[in-house]
Amino acid sequence: MKIKSSSINDGSVVILEPKGSLVGGDETDELKKAVASLLEQGNRKLIVDLGDVEYLNSSAIGALVSAHTSYTNRQGKFILCNTNKSITNIFVVTKLSTIFTTAEKREDAIYAIAK
């Protein structure tokens, strides 16, 4: 898996787009490394677009929680967008919907993170 990365607003906002299933293997490690690298570079605004993610397990949830915590601890912003119904249900059941800021569409996430 290759996580697509793009930036907007003069590079201050980064959008990561993982694809497929995030189930604790190389793809989850790749997500963790991408987030760590962005934080090292000083990024403080990250959107993770889950529109092309079919499934995620507890390892991937842990990676997303860790990324959220890292951004929050650095007074940054972390937003998830385009979550499918099954991923949204996972967040509701685990009560992570009260932790994560989510947006239905990428445009909504970009608007929210720019505030």
The encoded tokens of residue 6 equal: 């793009």
pLDDT reported for residue 9: 82
pLDDT reported for residue 17: 96
Contact 79, 101 (CB under 8 A): yes
pLDDT reported for residue 1: 58
Low-confidence ranges of the chain (pLDDT < 50): none
Condensed to tens digits (0 to 9), the pLDDT of residues 85-95 reads: 999 999 999 99
pLDDT reported for residue 25: 86
Q: Are strands 4-8 and 101-103 parallel, antiparallel or unpaired?
A: unpaired
pLDDT reported for residue 115: 79
Go through the domains of the chain in sequence order and give each one's CATH number.
Answer: 4-114 (3.30.750.24)
Burial class (CB in 10 A: 0-12, 13-18, 19+), 86: exposed
Neighbours of 80 (CB within 10 A): 23
**CA 75, chain centre distance (Å):** 16
pLDDT reported for residue 11: 83
Q: What is the pTM of this model?
A: 0.94
